[in-house]
Structure 1
């Protein structure tokens, strides 16, 4: 009997444990922190051995294979020891993929991947396909492989999940963009992070497709210097393409397999240039899976967007409150500020992953009337924007940040939570940060 050790008792860990037990593995789950009650119940119910607040090395080093949660870096001493011993350390995505024959649409990128994943799933579901959504969102891929019988999956894949793959493959891979992010996990080397993202295409064959942003210099440079077997399917806002998706006179035009798709950008339910790109990518994935054009158009018109991504929360005294808590890096916040058409009180800050805020200066100069800091260390924000914005206030939580913003905003303004940082100093995660912000707005 093969022994699988799962490091991390969260969503991906518990899902993997369930699938492994079903497939006849001896399973042990180990988490150095406390395991959340909802996951503990599942482990007990499935009679899966686990430990918490500790890693017992001799229970772990004897594994045949180890699944580590995406949040655990490769540099952790225990992981280093496992690799030195020659034990395979893989991600949930890798483990689960060997037990399903489903067609996979895999989506990665620094920004836009959640929206593109949800939008692709929405189109395929509307087309009546038997399709699941997993990866970085919803119930774990492994648990769905164990309990459901989907014929297709749309998976949102982070670089950390891709770091742990060996034979996993997406029939259709989407790469939305690459900008510096998570550099703290990649020795502050951008190229390490880039290579991580491109692992999505490493097992693709000439039967598979790589949909990518042809306006992204980083992606283009990698494709010039490296080879993928996949058929390249580009999208662009800057140039006309013979094959792929582009914009002409405010229309999205897509040429795939001699079949032209045409739709005005004004009909899209989600706004902003970045969402035109997300829509192009999702549309081409759906077309490659033979979804009818009419179904795609209807889906793009009635899609509701992702929670915590430029989400309109409320309008109070003629001031719009917008929750963009999912903006955990500078590029995501760039998109948010670009979409603002009013004077904005901007709530920013958290755990800085090596951010360079200079790219935001022109937008901040033009649109931001006040900055409200939401983090424990705000020096970099104050140093970058101190000369550009007259009012910079530091706050210690979502409730205080919202109250201060309410005082600073006047009729016709917007209050935008778009932190450009991770949330782990004051919140559990970006969802918790977004929910606390929304609650504070509703309590005004």
Structure 2
């Protein structure tokens, strides 16, 4: 919704008042100071949805399903797209979004472009919009399936990093989830670009319908994988996606090479916390799906202890259990709600006997890991489930893991 349309509404409700909701409030107060602006959030009132009927317009936070809003509404994402004057590179995918956004942003900055990241990386988009006036600016925007579910615009360049089941508590099926992700291309024209991973077969039926120029990830990167600080095939794919997107701006290989060789990865994404008591501790708290944890086990050598479990979103853990059965893992720390489900499935699928600890917090888990993990091996936090059964988010979980790893270090 454009600003000239927004200012026609006199009473506006922000539905959901987290980081993005607060940015929306500040934005409205700046562009439309005469309006009555209020907010409603579930943490303050379980009946918060009823307040929508008292206002002319609702600005919906992404985490609230669109079918719950029965009155006229828009979103912060739509407001940003309608009013930003520069180019937008939108990045979506089940995993790899934040890493790819960061790499694209850093490559563009190193090449002299006026770029900024928005979404989970950087500030909320509307916070930038309050100061951004330049047409030559480039926004590298991390877009979730929640944001894309009711988007009315598409970015000039859309990037899809990966695709496997996630957020099944929000989307009614995997097909609906894919549909939401593919909305990134819905409003593109022949002058736009869609960059995708050709390994993703679930989008094959969508490709003929896309009007923009379709470009698969670059096959090669300008440096040896041995020279990279980030490891794993999935990270190579993130680099390829970043390369493909930034080459549309004419960046040179020397700039790209320096950025990707210097990049150490983001916190909580297979982050090496160090070696203590002859044990290497890896924080992969951002791994909130079984597939993400499979990536970690395949990438990280000699894992002896793993932390698993979290909120139950109906994921299937069969493939993960087969990978664990074939791995060097001997010790497993389990957390509610999915920990017991993983344990029972592993008991059925594997003839091996694992050492288990069902823990209530990370203090208990890390203490046990120090005692039971073999020397010269790895202890991996990569829980294959969302964090919300115990923690506020994966950042809090990863921070706590790091705190106790360092606290119990000799």
TM-score (norm 2): 0.91
Corresponding residue of 2:3: none
Q: Is the contact made by 1:20 and 1:27 (CA closer than 8 Å) also made in structure 2?
A: no
1:423 aligns with 2:370: no
1:374 to 335, 342, 347: 335
Trace 1:144-183 onto structure 2 (pairs within 5 A).
Answer: 144-149=128-133, 151-166=137-152, 168-183=153-168
Q: Does residue 271 of structure 2 align to residue 311 of structure 1?
A: yes
Whole-Å separation in 2 of the counterparts to 1:58 and 1:335:
43
Structural mapping, 1:55-134, within 5 Å: 60-76=52-68, 79=69, 81-82=70-71, 87=72, 89-134=73-118
1:241 maps to what in 2? none
2: distance between equivalents of 1:56 and 1:272? 44
CA contact (8 A) 1:31 1:54 kept: no
Q: Secondary structure at the match of 2:365?
A: helix
- Which residue is 1:184 aligned to? 169
Matched, 1:31 2:78: no
1:256-275 matched pairs, under 5 angstroms:
262-275=222-235
| Other structure's SS at 1:263 match | coil
Report the Cα distance in structure 1 between the residues aligned to 2:48 and 2:406, rounded to whole angstroms: 46
Whole-Å Cα distance in 1 between the matches of residues 160 and 94 of structure 2?
9
Report the counterpart of residue 140 of structure 1 in structure 2.
124
For 2:27, the equivalent position in structure 1 comes to 19
Deviation at 1:208, TM superposition (A): 0.8
- Residue 138 (structure 1) shift: 2.8
What is the aligned residue count?
393
Which stretch of the first structure deviates more once superposed, 263-272 or 432-441? 263-272
Would the aligned equivalents of 1:30 and 1:55 in 2 still touch at CA under 8 Å?
A: no
Whole-angstrom CA distance in 2 between matches of 1:291 and 1:389: 53
The superposition leaves residues 227-271 of structure 1 with CA deviations (integer Å, 9 ceiling, x where unpaired) of 011111102xxxxxxxxx21xxxxx25xxxxxxxx4322223311
Q: 1:402 and 2:366 equivalent?
A: yes
Using the TM superposition, give the Cα deviation of residue 58 of structure 1 relative to its aligned residue in structure 2, in angstroms: 7.4
SS at match of 1:185: coil
Q: 1:203 to 1:283 in 2, by over 3 A?
A: same
Partner of 2:210: 228
Give yes or no for contact 2:93–2:162 (8 Å, CA) kept in 1: yes
Q: Secondary structure at the match of 2:223?
A: strand
Contact 1:21 1:27 in 2 (8 A): no
SS of the residue aligned with 1:371? strand
Q: Which residue of 2 aligns with 1:239?
A: none
Q: CA offset at residue 302 of structure 1?
A: 0.6
Whole-angstrom distance in 1 between the partners of 2:284 and 2:40? 31
Higher-strand-fraction structure: 1
Q: In the TM superposition, what whole-angstrom CA distance separates every residue of 1:75-112 from its partner, at most 9, and x where no partner exists?
A: 43xx2x32xxxx1x332111122121111110000111
What is the rounded CA distance, in whole Å, between the counterparts of 2:49 and 2:199 in structure 1? 47
CA contact 2:338–2:385 (8 Å) conserved in 1: no
Q: Is the 8 A contact 1:177 1:219 kept in 2?
A: no
Matching of residues 347-386 of structure 1 within 5 Å: 347-367=307-327, 368-386=329-347
* Structure 1 unaligned blocks of 5 or more: 35-51, 236-244, 247-251, 254-261
